[in-house]
Structure 1
């Protein structure tokens, strides 16, 4: 399992948390949003998904990956 922390702009409330974490969970990716830090910590299987795909999932929810 790989682990990475991604800087994300535009997150401000629990809706943001639920949106991102839910979208990642739907793809069998473990994600945790930290609103104060403006980050998403992700654990994933690099054999099944890559970092660019994870960033795309987050951006599809309306947030900017920095």
Structure 2
């Protein structure tokens, strides 16, 4: 399933790496794509959106459904 979030406080490649790692920690099968300029994170995974959103939030980022 594809899930998209707007992460307005994702501002650099370190943010991208942190978010990608957090998502893959809870969903090892996840394919994570990011658009840094648009602050968009697209995740293809069998994990539900709430789990993915919580993983991003746990790292201190504000992830809102796109």
Please give the TM-score of this superposition, normalised by the length of structure 2: 0.83
Q: How many residues align?
A: 62
- Corresponding residue for 2:36? 35
Deviation at 1:4, TM superposition (A): 2.1
SS across alignment from 2:51: helix
Tell me what 2:3 maps to: 4
Q: Which runs of 5+ in 2 are unaligned?
A: none
Alignment RMSD: 1.1
Query: Aligned-pair distance for 1:44?
Result: 0.8
Larger Rg: 1
1:54 counterpart residue number: 52
Tell me which stretches of 4 or more aligned residues in structure 1 moved more than 3 Å.
Answer: none
TM-score under structure 1 length normalisation: 0.83
